[in-house]
Structure 1
Amino acid sequence: MKRRDFNRSLLLAPAAPLLAGTTLSAVPQSAQAGRKIPWQNWSGHQKATPAGRVSPKTEDELASLLKTAKQTIRPVGAGHSFSPLVPTEGAILSTRHFDQVEAIADNRAIVGAGVKLNRLGEPLHKLGQALPNMPDIDEQSVAGAFSTGTHGTGANFGAMHAYVEALRLVTPRGEVLECSRDSNPDIFDAARVSLGSLGVITQYTLRNETPYKLKRRTWMQPLEQTFAEFHQLAEKHRNFEMYYIPHSDNALIITTDLTDEAISPRGEDGDNDAVRELKMLRDYASWWPWLRKKLITGVSNTIPPEEHVDWWWNIYPSDRAVRFNEMEYHLPRESIVGALKKVRDTVEKLNPDVFFPIEVRVVQEDDAWLSPFYKRPSASLA
């Protein structure tokens, strides 16, 4: 546990694949030729051997493909969803050719559905813009992240889809719809978090901010203290999250706030080493729960606080080399401390195998119909 930065497990929102319940008529010969190519999601838990793979280059090509469909087609982003959104015996569709990033007036930008989050930060920054918030995994495609409700953390910040001002949707009938609060508003409210069920989104118009620097602080503190201070920390800091370290008495706290200080980069993440070491302690001390708890708590007490300053897109995400599967619950914010206490009690008493840190974040309400944060300030427990 040399790490001072325990794993920030993923997002819900993990957001990668979109699900489209449409069908595809003729998979192009290039997709049919040769053997079928297996597909799996990032964690390896969801798998499929689709009949073909398609990657349309234009909206017209995509519209024709969907309109003449006769077998199942499902769009796929970067494969970061833990749910079975993509597996099919039909075809999977990539939106990788929809990759534009274009600044427009009033701190807005047009972003293609296939752009990955980790290839969006620096281009936006060079255009004089910044995303208001980001998740802690940046491997997802834009459309995958938005359509599955992916979120970061911050009491005054919504999930990624909350900053969408407009989108273009190609329906199963081959129609291309412009959707916003003023144009096709019901479809706009449904499509922002739709799992791809309405068709294939090709681009978004995003409401952004001017570029900013963040100071990221991490420190360990007693879990009971964290329960008592949870809501104050969430209100005090621009971004706040915590990690309960299973079978210990401590929590890891991470906050970020705006700053004008000089850059001091984070450097290489040690989260992956920390997770491996937690697993090792579980395996070695499985017969002595009291010893395991004493060791983890004792070592975590020696971890010093850290501070780093950098531009926004370098602060939010973390490296994730350790593969995992995640489930996430979204609760009314006022209920989160009580829920976490019950999770802690259940883990401590009934689940000695659990070693992966449990992540808690806060998210502002929004009005997308299938959003986990629909009209309710929420907290997410992953």
Structure 2
Amino acid sequence: MISEAKWANWAGCEQADCSVLTPRGTDEIVEAVRDAAAQERRLRPIGSSHSFSGIARPEDLQLRLDRHAGVISIDTTTGLVTVEAGMPLHRLNDILAGVGLALPNLGDIDRQTVAGALATGTHGTGTRFSTISAQLRALELVTADGEVLRCSPTENPYVFEFARVSLGALGVISTVTLQTVPAFALRVREVSLPLAEVLADFTELAEGIDHFELYWFPHTDRVQTRYKTRLPLEDGLAPLGRMRTWFDEELVANDVFRMMVATGRRVPAVVVPLNRVAVRLWGSRTYTDRSERVFITSRRVRFKEMEYAIPRARLPEAMRRVRDAVENAGWRIPFPVEIRVLAPDDIPLSMASGRETAFIAVHVPARAEHAAYFGAVERIMADYGGRPHWGKLHGLDVHGLRRVYPLLDEFAALRDRLDPKGMFSNGYLDRVLGRVGAASG
């Protein structure tokens, strides 16, 4: 059944009118795809709409997988878990915790669906850990002709290689099988340090801890560092108390921060002193909790984001240039810059493909102008072979992306073979991959 709806992504920077399909089960997905093909309509699969880029924007039909979000199987011996593609990460985390399992690494937001996180290359942090896509062991893909392809390293392995980060361009992912690990805890130490000191010791800091990340508030000379060490659950937990959690995560990180951002938008001159207040509010803390509770952060202040991946060794130099660009331009930036790291992987369209990687993510309020700030940072990232996050704002097209993704044209050729009429495409995919059937070069 088709309904009409107005669609917007989480940040509100992408909007569209569309017709909506909500299938349940792979058979209904196949039926929806075949009907769309017969009518020569474009159909865009959608997850939780958390991407900032136009990757999920529907131009005709939108396929929502809210009703296709169940558990198919859990094997606690092997750790292999198969779920329907619309399963949100926060629900999956709860389900896994209930059977003593966990995903080995997570980003700091869990609102995405499993398929959406895989399609955009969602990642966490840690020099010895990889993207969520690297945890994929098998999937089912409904292609434009309604065929269900079962893909794994041994079944349709070529499609599987590219489908691990698919951009939603190869078809509709129906089910996924992920490799989980026994549930574990994370001991967290958070401390504010001088930016110059952290950049000077960046390699040692990143390699010396399981999961390392830092946040720099523009217009200050300090960063908030987070060190997360993996521990067995049996060692015991020492979580933050209820009042401390409410104060840090809800009052300061959301309510107070929201007021600071709103005040800065009305009176830009106060952004600098407010950022310096924020640095003091952060302070230091140490606690131990379950991994899924530590990895995830509550984000209720809406923003727009751009994130680039560069070779890890170049991060200190690049970050100094970002700092200088912000200060020299006279902008007033109320959101922190986030820095994370990741191990190399072998996934063609992964941001960490083939190299030790560091990420620089920049943010502005959801209704603020972003072009000048993001554009300046993007030009810096280009000097380091920067790769943009597919689900976040960036200005590159297929010509620029070929320079940093050597297998981009090979991916586009596979897309053309599986979807020769461009049923699953949209304006964003036409920009980053080229139009379906277009000659390479």
- Which TM-score applies when normalising by structure 1? 0.85
Deviation at 1:98, TM superposition (A): 2.6
Deviation at 1:243, TM superposition (A): 0.7
1:247 aligns to what SS in structure 2? coil
Distance 1:171 1:332, change over 3 A: same
Does the CA contact (< 8 Å) of 1:247 and 1:355 recur in 2?
A: no
Match of 2:32 in 1: 65
Note the residue ranges of structure 2 that are not aligned, 5 or more in a row. 362-441
1:327 aligns to what SS in structure 2? strand
User: Residues 267-303 of structure 1, C-alpha deviation per residue, up to 9 Å, x if partnerless?
Assistant: 23132245336536746874589xx36x744763475
CA distance in 2, matches of 1:84, 1:150: 16
Does the CA contact (< 8 Å) of 1:129 and 1:208 recur in 2?
A: yes
Match of 1:144 among 93, 96, 116: 116
1:68 aligns to what SS in structure 2? helix
Deviation at 1:355, TM superposition (A): 1.7
Match of 2:410 in 1: none
- The residue correspondences of 1:1-382 to structure 2 (distance < 5 A) are 30-32=1-3, 36-50=4-18, 52-69=19-36, 70-101=40-71, 102-104=73-75, 105-259=77-231, 260-265=235-240, 267-268=245-246, 269=249, 270-273=252-255, 275-276=257-258, 278-279=260-261, 282=264, 286-287=268-269, 292=272, 296-297=275-276, 300-301=279-280, 303-382=282-361
Distance 1:44 1:284, change over 3 A: closer
Distance 1:288 1:153, change over 3 A: closer
CA distance in 1, matches of 2:307, 2:28: 37
2:323 aligns to what SS in structure 1? helix
Does the CA contact (< 8 Å) of 2:126 and 2:340 recur in 1?
A: yes
User: Residues 100-156 of structure 1, C-alpha deviation per residue, up to 9 Å, x if partnerless?
Assistant: 333124111112211111111121122221100111001000000111010000001
User: Residues 314-352 of structure 1, C-alpha deviation per residue, up to 9 Å, x if partnerless?
Assistant: 111111110001001110111111111100000011042
AA aligned to 1:212 is F
User: Residues 26-62 of structure 1, C-alpha deviation per residue, up to 9 Å, x if partnerless?
Assistant: xxxx324xxx320100011110000x11111121221
Does the CA contact (< 8 Å) of 2:21 and 2:63 recur in 1?
A: yes
Distance 1:121 1:302, change over 3 A: closer
AA aligned to 2:201 is E
CA distance in 1, matches of 2:158, 2:345: 15
Deviation at 1:370, TM superposition (A): 1.0
AA aligned to 2:325 is T
Deviation at 1:310, TM superposition (A): 1.1
Does the CA contact (< 8 Å) of 1:213 and 1:311 recur in 2?
A: yes
Does the CA contact (< 8 Å) of 1:278 and 1:356 recur in 2?
A: no
Q: Which has the higher helix share?
A: 2
2:117 aligns to what SS in structure 1? helix
CA distance in 1, matches of 2:329, 2:173: 44
CA distance in 1, matches of 2:53, 2:280: 36
User: Residues 180-233 of structure 1, C-alpha deviation per residue, up to 9 Å, x if partnerless?
Assistant: 111111100111111110100011111111011111221111111111121111
Distance 1:40 1:288, change over 3 A: closer
Does the CA contact (< 8 Å) of 2:275 and 2:334 recur in 1?
A: no
Does the CA contact (< 8 Å) of 2:264 and 2:270 recur in 1?
A: no
CA distance in 1, matches of 2:208, 2:328: 33
Distance 1:175 1:235, change over 3 A: same
Query: Bigger CA drift: 277-286 or 369-378?
Result: 277-286
> Larger relative contact order (C-alpha < 8 A, sep ≥ 6)?
1
Distance 1:84 1:283, change over 3 A: closer
Percent of aligned positions that are identical: 36
1:146 aligns to what SS in structure 2? helix
Q: Let me know the Cα RMSD of the aligned residues.
A: 2.0
Query: Bigger CA drift: 161-170 or 89-98?
Result: 89-98
1:48 aligns to what SS in structure 2? strand
Distance 1:217 1:273, change over 3 A: farther
CA distance in 1, matches of 2:237, 2:326: 42
Does the CA contact (< 8 Å) of 2:238 and 2:287 recur in 1?
A: yes
In the alignment of these two chains, the number of paired residues is 346
